[in-house]
Amino acid sequence: MTELTPVQEYYKGKTVFITGASGFMGKVLVEKLLYSCSALKEVIIIVRPKRGKSPEVRLEEMFKLPIFQRIREEKPEVLKKVTSFHGDVTYENLGLSGDNLKHVIDNTNIVFHMAATLKLEGNLKDAIDMNTSGTRRALDIAKQMKGLEAFVHVSTAFCNCDQEIMFEKVYEYPHKPDDLMRMVEWMDVKTLDTITPELLKPHPNTYTYSKRLAEILVRDHYETMPVIIARPSIVTPSVQEPVPGWVDNLNGPTGVMIGAGKGVIRSMICNGELRSEIIPVDMAINGMILLPYRFNIMEKRPQYIPVFNLTVPEAKKRTWKWIMDVGRDLGMKYPFEIGLWYPDGNMSTNKIYHWFCVVMFMWLPAYFIDLLLFLFGQRRFMVRVQTRIAIGLEMLQFFTTRSWDFKSKNFEQIQDVLSSQDKAIFKIEMNDVDDYEYLRTCILGGRQYVMKEPLSSLPRARTQLKFLYFLDRFCKFTFLAGMLYWLCSKFGIIEFLRTTSMENVK
3-class DSSP string for 27-88: HHHHHHHHHHCCCCCEEEEEECCECCECHHHHHHHHHCCHHHHHHHHHCHHHHHHEEEEECC
Q: Region 420-448: what's the mean pLDDT?
A: 92
10 Å Cβ neighbour count for 312?
A: 24
Per residue in 360-402, pLDDT (tens digit) is: 878 888 888 888 888 888 888 788 878 877 777 777 788 888 8
Contacting residues for 273 by C-beta, under 8 A, at least 6 apart: 319, 320, 321
In this predicted structure, the answer to whether residue 217 has a pLDDT above a threshold of 80 is yes
Strand partners, 18: 45, 112
Q: Region 39-59: what's the mean pLDDT?
A: 86
DSSP string, 96-158: --HHHHHHHHHH-SEEEE------TT--HHHHIIIIIHHHHHHHHHHTT-TT--EEEEE--TT
Per residue in 150-205, pLDDT (tens digit) is: 999 999 999 998 888 999 999 999 999 999 999 988 888 888 888 888 888 888 88
Q: Which residue has the higher pLDDT, 101 or 316?
A: 101
Share of the chain above pLDDT 70, in %: 96
Choose the weakest-confidence range: 258-267, 270-279, 492-501: 492-501
Q: What is the pLDDT of residue 223?
A: 92
Residue closest to 236 by CA, chosen among 168, 165, 312: 312
Contact 155, 214 (CB under 8 A): yes
Burial 473-502 (b: 16+ CB within 10 A, else e): eeeeeeeeeeeeeeeeeeeeeeeeeeeeee
Q: What is the pLDDT of residue 258?
A: 83
Q: What is the pLDDT of residue 137?
A: 96
Q: What is the pTM of this model?
A: 0.91
Per residue in 336-368, pLDDT (tens digit) is: 887 777 888 788 888 888 888 888 878 888 888
* Burial of 101 (C-beta count, 10 Å sphere; 0-12/13-18/19+): middle
Contact 13, 403 (CB under 8 A): no
In this predicted structure, the answer to whether residue 240 has a pLDDT above a threshold of 80 is yes
Per residue in 9-20, pLDDT (tens digit) is: 999 999 999 999
Strand partners, 406: 166
Question: How far apart (Å, rounded) are the C-alpha atoms in residues 234 and 271?
Answer: 17
In this predicted structure, the answer to whether residue 135 has a pLDDT above a threshold of 90 is yes
The number of helix segments (H) and strand segments (E) in the chain equals 21, 11
Q: Region 394-412: what's the mean pLDDT?
A: 87
Q: What is the pLDDT of residue 502?
A: 56
Q: What is the pLDDT of residue 263?
A: 81
Q: Region 405-420: what's the mean pLDDT?
A: 93
In this predicted structure, the answer to whether residue 267 has a pLDDT above a threshold of 90 is no
Q: What is the pLDDT of residue 149?
A: 96
Question: How far apart (Å, rounded) are the C-alpha atoms in residues 484 and 500?
Answer: 19
Contacting residues for 473 by C-beta, under 8 A, at least 6 apart: none
10 Å Cβ neighbour count for 92?
A: 12
Q: Which residue has the higher pLDDT, 71 or 189?
A: 71
- The four Cα atoms 97, 101, 103, 107 give a dihedral, to 10 degrees, of 180
- Mean pLDDT estimate for the chain: 88
Residue closest to 103 by CA, chosen among 57, 44, 60, 47: 44
- The four Cα atoms 191, 196, 199, 204 give a dihedral, to 10 degrees, of 180
10 Å Cβ neighbour count for 332?
A: 15
Q: What is the pLDDT of residue 55?
A: 78
Q: What is the pLDDT of residue 500?
A: 60
Q: Is the N-terminal amide bond of 253 cis, ω within 30° of 0?
A: no
Q: What is the pLDDT of residue 352?
A: 87
Q: What is the pLDDT of residue 496?
A: 55
Q: What is the pLDDT of residue 495?
A: 61
In this predicted structure, the answer to whether residue 285 has a pLDDT above a threshold of 90 is yes
Q: What is the pLDDT of residue 220?
A: 95
Residue closest to 326 by CA, chosen among 436, 240, 198: 436
Q: What is the pLDDT of residue 491?
A: 66
Strand partners, 42: 15
pLDDT band at 251 (very low <50, low <70, confident <90, very high): confident
Q: Which residue has the higher pLDDT, 358 or 22?
A: 22
Helix (H) or strand (E) holding 346: strand 346-348
Share of the chain above pLDDT 90, in %: 51
Contact 39, 13 (CB under 8 A): yes
Choose the weakest-confidence range: 94-103, 225-234, 378-387, 482-491: 482-491
- Cα–Cα distances in angstroms (integers) from residue 70 to residues 66, 363, 374, 443, in the given order: 8, 44, 47, 22
Question: How far apart (Å, rounded) are the C-alpha atoms in residues 321 and 273?
Answer: 6
Contact 370, 380 (CB under 8 A): yes
Question: How far apart (Å, rounded) are the C-alpha atoms in residues 336 and 461?
Answer: 6
Contact 487, 294 (CB under 8 A): no
Per residue in 451-479, pLDDT (tens digit) is: 888 999 999 989 988 888 888 788 878 87
Question: How far apart (Å, rounded) are the C-alpha atoms in residues 215 and 440?
Answer: 35
Per residue in 84-98, pLDDT (tens digit) is: 999 999 999 999 989
> CATH for 8-232?
3.40.50.720
Q: What is the pLDDT of residue 501?
A: 58
In this predicted structure, the answer to whether residue 300 has a pLDDT above a threshold of 90 is no
In this predicted structure, the answer to whether residue 148 has a pLDDT above a threshold of 90 is yes
Q: What is the pLDDT of residue 427?
A: 94
What are phi and psi for residue 275, nearest 5 degrees?
-85, 140
Choose the weakest-confidence range: 3-12, 229-238, 484-493: 484-493
Q: What is the pLDDT of residue 121?
A: 73
